[in-house]
Amino acid sequence: MCKEEGYLISSYKSTNVTLTLQLISPICNSKVTQRENEMINSPEQISHIRTATMGFTGIICLAYASLVVITGQPQPMSPWIPGVAGVLTSIVIFGSFMAAGSKNAVMATDELYASQQSKAAQIGYWVALAMYPIFGLLIMQDLLSLSLAFPIMATLTGAAYLLPFAYLTCSRT
């Protein structure tokens, strides 16, 4: 990284005089232009967007499962909402990566991210597996109908990955 780059960016932002920048350092100026063109300038911003959207979708999934239990109805709200939230989340995350550029995208998917998402996936996997015997017993005991168990298990499976991921990425700073 050019040592003058940080100064140049702040100078550019404060004065908006591109001609001066070009006179000071034409080499760094190309980097400044590249940075300015990127709407998202740091891997932290991508991480925040990723955590927020995935956490939000996880909450929707958990809320859906909770509402099924509370209301006793398999469709307490539109059944499309969790799915649409998931699709929108993926679009927002993909868009943020595109806007940030490849360098920031690589930095935002480094080995800390891989470790955190791996842990979240482990939790999600075991929770999803554990739900089968638990819900099987509840259905056998006539404490829960199959029509209610299906949406609860489906949405909890999503929440079991999304919420731990959001928690891990928020807490380990």
Partner 1 sequence: MSIGLINHLKSHRSEAGLTQAELAEAVQVSRKTINTIENRVFIPSTVLALKIAGHLKVSVHALFELEE
Q: Determine if 172 is a binding residue for partner 1 (CB under 8 A).
A: yes
Residue 93 interacts with partner 1 (CB under 8 A): yes or no: no
Q: Name which position in 111, 133, 140, 142 contacts partner 1 (CB under 8 A).
A: 111
Query: Does the footprint of partner 1 cover residue 112 (CB under 8 A)?
Result: yes
Residue 9 binding partner 1, by CB under 8 A: no
CA atoms within a 13 Å half-sphere pointing along the CA-CB vector of 173: 9
Q: Is 84 in the site for partner 1 (CB under 8 A)?
A: no
The span from the CA of 74 to the CA of 154, in Å, is 11
97 binds partner 1 (CB under 8 A): no
Total interface residues for partner 1 by CB under 8 A:
16
In angstroms, rounded to a whole number, what is the distance separating the alpha carbons of residues 77 and 64? 7
- Cβ 108 to partner 1, closest distance in Å? 6
Vertex 88 angle, CA 85 and 91, to 5°: 155
Choose between 1 and 19: whose C-beta lies nearer to partner 1. Answer: 1
> Does 30 help bind partner 1 (rule: CB under 8 A)?
no
Residue nearer to partner 1 on the CB measure, 14 or 173: 173
**DSSP string across 70-121:** HH--S-SS-THHHHHHHHHHHHHHHHHHHHH-HHHHHHHTSHHHHHHHHHHH
d(C-alpha 10, C-alpha 109), whole Å: 27
Q: How far is the CB of 35 from partner 1 (least distance, A)?
A: 12
Quick check: 142 binds partner 1 (CB under 8 A)? no
What's the start-to-end Cα distance of the chain, in Å? 25
Binding site for partner 1 (CB under 8 A): 1, 42-44, 47, 103, 106-108, 110-113, 115, 172-173
